[in-house]
Amino acid sequence: MSVNKESNLEIIAKQTEIMDKLAEVKTIEDAKDFNAWAKSFKAFVRSHHQKKEIRFIADEAWIRGQRLMGFMIQEKQDKGELEKAGGERGNQYTKESGIITESNNAKTLSDFGITPQESMVSQQFSSIPEETFEEEIANIKVEQEKSHAELTTARFLRLAKSLQKEDAPKKERDINDVANKMSDDLQAILNTFSQIAVHWEEVNNEQKEKLGIKLKRLLSIFQELQADQKSKKGKNPLQISSKE
């Protein structure tokens, strides 16, 4: 068997091994274990292998592992099962009621042995659309054949940030559309409240108290946002306790 054929078989075998390991990752704990293995594999390859193809596979394993963990972190945060950066708990949204509630049982990143830096990097990777991500890997592979291009964390962070800049105007339009709809919804609520006010003496005390709590909370949120628009606080004022 030729040397080139042996080399190609080695590369295919290692790629298959990595994809099999990735397919077994089902939880954040699994992702942490995979990334620990990928980090060790990457260090070993850097120390012992001269073949750039094998180095590329090791780098790819690390990047894919981080990206997969990013998806899992985001999913848990969206479900309110994991605190966000800065100690902010994830929100739970009930579609039927339209109420945002704060989870009191959320775990922290440290519970999983994940640092804020690791979380940031992995979620930056997972923010890259699938097609763009795979294209970038393919492009780097082609570049590597012609030069010394490498698959690095820095390159994918730059890609993620450039995509976020491109998407910023659209997000701004989207959030203003949401704000406009909210304004219409609040007007409808005010109209309804005006009808209730006419018969206020007929409203029982329990309902008056509930309305008072909600209205005071809404006013409090608005005042907080107005008072400190530029501040990035750890706790989002829009987190409404299910008890309120």
In this predicted model, what pLDDT tens digit does every residue of 16-67 receive, in sequence order?
Answer: 888 888 889 999 999 999 999 999 988 888 887 667 888 888 899 999 999 9
Token pair, residue 219, equals 């006013």
- Structural domain includes residue 242: no
Please give the pLDDT value at position 240: 42
CB 214 within 8 A of CB 77: no
Q: What is the mean pLDDT of residues 140-157?
A: 86
* Residue 233, in any domain of the structure: no
What is the percent of the chain with per-residue pLDDT over 90, rounded to a whole number?
26
Partners of residue 94 on adjacent β-strands: 99
Burial class (CB in 10 A: 0-12, 13-18, 19+), 154: exposed
Which segment of 39-53, 97-111, 174-188, 213-227 scores lowest on mean pLDDT? 97-111
Within a domain: 100 = yes
Report the C-alpha gap between 236 and 221 in whole angstroms.
Answer: 10
The total number of structural domains in the chain stands at: 1
- pLDDT, greater one: 205 or 239: 205
Which pTM was predicted?
0.59
More confident residue, 172 or 224: 224
pLDDT at 241 over 50: no
Q: Do the Cβ atoms of 56 and 144 come closer than 8 Å?
A: yes
Most confident option among 75-84, 167-176, 219-228: 75-84
Mean pLDDT over each residue of the chain, to the nearest integer: 79
Segment of 138-147, 172-181, 220-229 carrying the highest mean pLDDT: 138-147
pLDDT score of 170: 63
* AA identity, residue 27: T
Does residue 200 form part of some domain? no
Residue 243 lies in a domain: no
Domain that includes residue 39, residue range: 3-174
CB 67 within 8 A of CB 22: no
Output 216 or 96, whichever has higher pLDDT.
Answer: 216
36 part of a folded domain? yes
**Rounded to an integer, what distance in angstroms lies between the CA atom of residue 244 and that of residue 241?**
5
Residue 231 falls inside a structural domain:
no
Is 88 domain-assigned? yes
In the chain, pLDDT over 70 holds for what percent of residues? 77
Distance CA 28, CA 114 (A): 9
